[in-house]
Amino acid sequence: MIGLPKTKLKGAISKYSKEIELYYSDLLIAAKAKRTEVKAFLSDEELVYFDEVISAFQSSNPITWTSEEIAGWISSIGPLPEHGSNNKMLKLKDRILSILDYEGMRSEFFPMFFLETGIKTCVYCNSQFALTVDAFTAKGYSNPKQYIAKFELDHKHSKQLYPFLALSVYNLYPSCKPCNNIKGVKEVDFDLYSGKIDSSDFNFYIDKVSKVEFLLSNRLDDLKIGLAIPENGAYDSIFQISSIYQTQKDVAEELIMKAKIYNESYKAMLGGALGGIFRENGIYKRMILGNYADVSDIHKRPLAKFMQDIAKDIGLI
C-alpha cells in the first residue's frame, strides 16, 4: 500500500525510550543467563547460531534496529538452522524468543507503542481495522488504562526463519488476521517504513467502458473495478486485493453519484465557505469523499486508499 512516514515510528520510539532501555537491560541479563543453560541441549551448529544472535543483541538494542541494520544482521547471521526446529528438548527458535520475552512484549508493550504511530488499519489490505483500544482493568481498576491490540503483528522477515528479529519495530507490520495468516513466511516487496507516502506501486480505477454501461443501465454488476499493479509483483496474488475490492462496487457507485453532484464550482464554493470553519483547510474534501482524502492518512481508516484512487480517477477530488 502506502508507506508510513518514518517520523511516526521514530516518534513512538522516542516517547517510549525509557521503557525500551529498561527492556534492553533485562534482555542482556536474560541473554547471559540463557547461554549457560542451552549449552547442553544444542548441537554445535545451533550453538554457533545462538552465540551469533546473542552477540548481535549485545551490540545494540534489537527493538530499534533500522531496516538497514536488519538487512545487515540477516546477511551475517542468516536464517534459523533447519534442524533447529526439530530440537526435542526445546526449539532453538523458542529459546531465542524466550530471551526476547516475545509473548510479554507483544501483549503488554506493542499495543500502546503502535497506538502512537497512528496506524488504525491493516497495512496490507487497508480493508480491515487494526486498532489499539483502551479497556478498564476489572480487578479494582488498579490500571485504568490497559491497552489491547485488536490487530496482529506480521513480521516482514518471518520470525520462523529469523527469530532474532521478532521484536524489531522496523520488522513489525500491524495487520488484520486474514492477511497475517495468508502471508505466513512469504517475503512481500513492500517496505512500510520507507517513508514514501506520495506514491504507490498499484492503484485502483474504474474500467471506463464499464462506467458508461453502469450509467446507462444503473446495474451495479456492470461496474468493474480495476487494479493497476507491477507485472512482477506478488502482492495481489498473496493478499487477493483485487477480489477484496470487487466486493466494494457499492462504494464506487456512491463516489460516481457524488462526482455528478459535486461539480468544480460547487467544490470551490464549499472550499471557500468551509475553509475558515474547520481546523483543517482541506477537510471539506474529506466530507465530500466520506473518508480521509490525503494520501498520508490512508492508515487511519479502512478503504481510504481505494476511495482516494477511485475519487481521483473520476475527478471527485
Task: Output the pLDDT for position 76.
Answer: 97
Distances in Å between the Cα of 38 and the Cα atoms of 3, 42, 78, 85, 87 are 40, 6, 20, 15, 12
Q: In whole angstroms, what is the distance from residue 156 CA to residue 171 CA?
A: 5
Using CB atoms within 10 A of its CB, is residue 257 exposed (0-12), middle (13-18) or buried (19+)?
exposed
Beta bridge partners of 173: 154
Task: Output the pLDDT for position 21.
Answer: 96
Query: Which residues in 189-220 are b (16+ Cβ under 10 Å) and which e?
Result: ebebbeeebeebebbbbbeeebbebbeeeeee
- Residue the block writes with cell 470551490: 268
- Residue the block writes with cell 517504513: 193
Task: Output the pLDDT for position 312.
Answer: 95
Q: In whole angstroms, what is the distance from residue 213 CA to residue 232 CA?
A: 31
Instruction: List the grid coordinates of 237.
Output: 496474488
Q: How many CB atoms lie within 10 A of CB 235?
A: 18
pTM: 0.90
Task: Output the pLDDT for position 160.
Answer: 92
Task: Output the pLDDT for position 43.
Answer: 83
Distances in Å between the Cα of 24 and the Cα atoms of 71, 103, 119, 183 are 21, 15, 25, 29
Instruction: List the grid coordinates of 290.
Output: 466520506
Q: Element (H or E) spanning 124, and its range? A: none
Beta bridge partners of 227: 204
Instruction: List the grid coordinates of 16.
Output: 517510549
- Listed as ranges, residues in the chain with pLDDT below 70 are 83-90, 136-145, 198-199, 231-233, 274-281
Using CB atoms within 10 A of its CB, is residue 226 exposed (0-12), middle (13-18) or buried (19+)?
middle
DSSP per-residue letters across 200-249: -S-EEEE-HHHHHHHHHH--GGG--EEEE--TT--HHHHH-HHHHHHTTH
Q: In whole angstroms, what is the distance from residue 306 CA to residue 141 CA?
A: 41
Phi and psi at residue 146, in whole multiples of 5°?
Answer: -110, 120
Domain boundaries, the chain: 6-194, 203-313
pLDDT tens for 62-113 read: 999 999 999 999 999 999 987 545 554 568 899 999 999 999 999 999 999 9
Q: Alpha helices, DSSP H only, in 60-134?
A: 67-77, 92-100, 102-108, 110-115
Q: In whole angstroms, what is the distance from residue 177 CA to residue 154 CA?
A: 9
pLDDT tens for 23-36 read: 999 999 999 888 77
CB 296 within 8 A of CB 200: no
Phi and psi at residue 129, in whole multiples of 5°?
Answer: -70, 150
